[in-house]
Amino acid sequence: MDSGTGQVSTPSTLPYYVAFSQLLGLTVVAMTGAWLGLYRGGIAWESTLQFNVHPLCMVIGLIFLQGDALLVYRVFRKEAKRTTKVLHGLLHVFAFIISLVGLVAVFDYHRKMGYADLYSLHSWCGILVFALYIVQWLVGFSFFLFPGASFSLRSRYRPQHVFFGAAIFVLSVGAALLGLKEALLFKLGAAYGALGPEAALANALGVLLLSFAAAVLYVLAQAGWRRPAQAEEQALSMDFRSLAGGDSPGSQ
Amino acid sequence: MDSGTGQVSTPSTLPYYVAFSQLLGLTVVAMTGAWLGLYRGGIAWESTLQFNVHPLCMVIGLIFLQGDALLVYRVFRKEAKRTTKVLHGLLHVFAFIISLVGLVAVFDYHRKMGYADLYSLHSWCGILVFALYIVQWLVGFSFFLFPGASFSLRSRYRPQHVFFGAAIFVLSVGAALLGLKEALLFKLGAAYGALGPEAALANALGVLLLSFAAAVLYVLAQAGWRRPAQAEEQALSMDFRSLAGGDSPGSQ
């Protein structure tokens, strides 16, 4: 593992952990699709299958893409900071749009079916995580992408951004597990106890969701795997100018 | 916030965050008791109320006490390392025993009632977290409490111990939320949608469980709040002897 002294090298085992996390993430997406296709009749917008848009979009948006957005600074180590930052923001844009579609799908489905909204623990956690995600977006954007924030403000906010980013990701996975459980219990009821094929597949999906979260967080938690500052960024930080790849305050 | 330069001072805002986490943790335990007392008939070992021993013990053991065990190194900053370590271990002993009672209760209840074991996502996550907890216990004990491990081995293992400790704690909270959801859906079924008093109380308990976890992890995540090494520990580490407060390899 590298010592993080400013040389842009890649720690030798990092690519394997990242590849493993991607394998887990793609398996989670594929398995969610398989569950909805095999046991829930597939996906459509204009029928009762509209509900199924919800789990698929939330898993792709708030779990797979959000998780990958967190990994960007570990994976892209040699690119300019601005490029990495834009990719981080873009992945979060896709995550936000796709999960918004998933949210609209379930509210629209509830409205058509006359079901109550926002009564379950899953919905409470889901709305909490989505609200926190929007706040994190707005605050993150104004500190790191908008060119007005000073270097010292950014440095003080960065650890908070990282902590809340990881917390929102974990909470997303927790909300997904609650939703999966709810979908199983509503449909299977006492038959859940027989652990039929749908229950086994969905339980395995739940464990895989946890494994993807653990793999992403493990990569994030390794201090030696952080993206080292590049030479020009160090020079900029000594100038007390922005770390954001060259945009000085007011350069718009 | 202190700069962590070896002086044993307490960061000025740390006590407030710790106090807030304890308020949340105690509220979680009290609310679990209130939920079981008001809506589930209370607690006993020799009747169908035996089931209720399970959530109460798991919340006290694997959530409140486990969370507090993680905070020990942030709270006890001026005591000898050995004292802090023993307290960390003791809290984990209590957490382990109490959650074991909770596990025995639910398996015994299932046996008496003829219910299937280990079919639900809650039970899969619960067994996974308990197995990981035992592994973490055994590995942690052999590295940090048994006097044989060298200073360099301990230093290399420490970040893994910290990561897996936090991960197991988060997974415990996730398993608790799944169990709470299961208990609500099995009893209330479609009536859950009316968000009656039990559902509202249990949902609020779920959100409080998440808040307790977030508060504990926030305290752990602040780099400036780590327990600074004390003078005699630094001297020992320079000697390549153990950091464990004086026990050199083989001192038994």
pTM: 0.90
* pLDDT at residue B138, as a whole number: 95
A249 pLDDT higher than 80: no
B249 pLDDT higher than 70: no
A90's tokens: 């873009």
Is there a contact between A207 and B128 if contact means CB atoms under 8 Å apart? yes
Mutant choice from A63, A113, A120 vs B, greatest count of B C-beta within 10 A: A120
* pLDDT at residue B12, as a whole number: 92
Query: In terms of pLDDT, which residue wins out, B94 or B224?
Result: B94
B223's tokens: 């780099």
Query: In terms of pLDDT, which residue wins out, A136 or A244?
Result: A136
Per-domain boundaries in chain A? 14-238
Question: Which CATH fold would you assign to the domain A14-238?
Answer: Four Helix Bundle (Hemerythrin (Met), subunit A) (1.20.120)
B5 pLDDT higher than 70: no
- C-alpha to C-alpha distance for A65 and B187, rounded to whole angstroms: 36
pLDDT tens-digit readout, B82-141:
999 999 999 999 999 999 999 999 999 999 999 999 999 999 999 999 999 999 999 999
**CB contact set of B122 (below 8 Å; sequence gap of 6+):** A181, B175, B178, B179, B181, B182
pLDDT tens-digit readout, B11-66:
999 999 999 999 999 999 999 999 999 999 999 999 999 999 999 999 999 999 99
Is there a contact between A121 and B167 if contact means CB atoms under 8 Å apart? no
* pLDDT at residue A117, as a whole number: 95
- C-alpha to C-alpha distance for A225 and A10, rounded to whole angstroms: 8
Render B54-123 in DSSP notation, one character per residue: HHHHHIIIIIIIHHHHHHHHHH--SS-HHHHHHHHHHHHHHHHHHHHHHHHHHHHHHHHHTPPSS-SHHH
- C-alpha to C-alpha distance for B50 and B63, rounded to whole angstroms: 20
- C-alpha to C-alpha distance for B143 and B161, rounded to whole angstroms: 10
Query: In terms of pLDDT, which residue wins out, B248 or A148?
Result: A148
A155 pLDDT higher than 60: yes
The DSSP letter of residue A115 is P
* pLDDT at residue A236, as a whole number: 55
Tell me how long chain B is. 252
Cα A59 to Cα A74, A116, A210, B77, B83: the distances in Å are: 22, 23, 12, 42, 45
Q: What is the mean pLDDT of chain A?
A: 90
Neighbours of B209 (CB within 10 A): 26
pLDDT tens-digit readout, A87-126:
999 999 999 999 999 999 999 999 999 999 999 999 999 9
**CB contact set of A15 (below 8 Å; sequence gap of 6+):** none
**CB contact set of B178 (below 8 Å; sequence gap of 6+):** A177, A178, A181, B120, B121, B122, B125, B126
Is there a contact between B128 and A182 if contact means CB atoms under 8 Å apart? no
Lowest mean pLDDT among B177-186, B207-216, B220-229: B220-229
What's the rounded mean pLDDT across residues B206-212? 98
Is there a contact between A207 and B125 if contact means CB atoms under 8 Å apart? yes
Considering only CA atoms, which of A33, A95, A90, A38 is closest in space to residue A61? A95
What ipTM was estimated for this complex? 0.89
A80 pLDDT higher than 60: yes
Confidence of residue A226 (pLDDT cuts 50, 70, 90): very high
B44's tokens: 């006993």
* pLDDT at residue B73, as a whole number: 95
B8 pLDDT higher than 90: no
pLDDT tens-digit readout, B128-187:
999 999 999 999 999 998 888 888 999 999 999 999 999 999 999 999 999 999 999 999
CB B1 within 8 A of CB B222: yes
Considering only CA atoms, which of B52, B9, B17 is closest in space to residue B222? B17
Helix/strand/coil for A24: helix
B contacts of A114 (beta carbons < 8 Å): none
Cα A29 to Cα A125, A168, A209, B53, B156: the distances in Å are: 21, 19, 9, 37, 35
A246 pLDDT higher than 70: no
* pLDDT at residue A248, as a whole number: 39
A45 in B contact zone (CB under 8 Å): no
pLDDT tens-digit readout, A19-58:
999 999 999 999 999 999 999 999 999 999 999 999 999 9
B contacts of A177 (beta carbons < 8 Å): 121, 125, 174, 177-178
For A125, the closest of B121, B170, B210 (CB atoms) is B210
A contacts of B174 (beta carbons < 8 Å): 173-174, 177, 210
Considering only CA atoms, which of A70, A66, A46 is closest in space to residue A58? A66
Within 13 A of B45's CA, how many CA atoms are on the CB side? Answer: 6
A119 in B contact zone (CB under 8 Å): yes
Is there a contact between B214 and A159 if contact means CB atoms under 8 Å apart? no
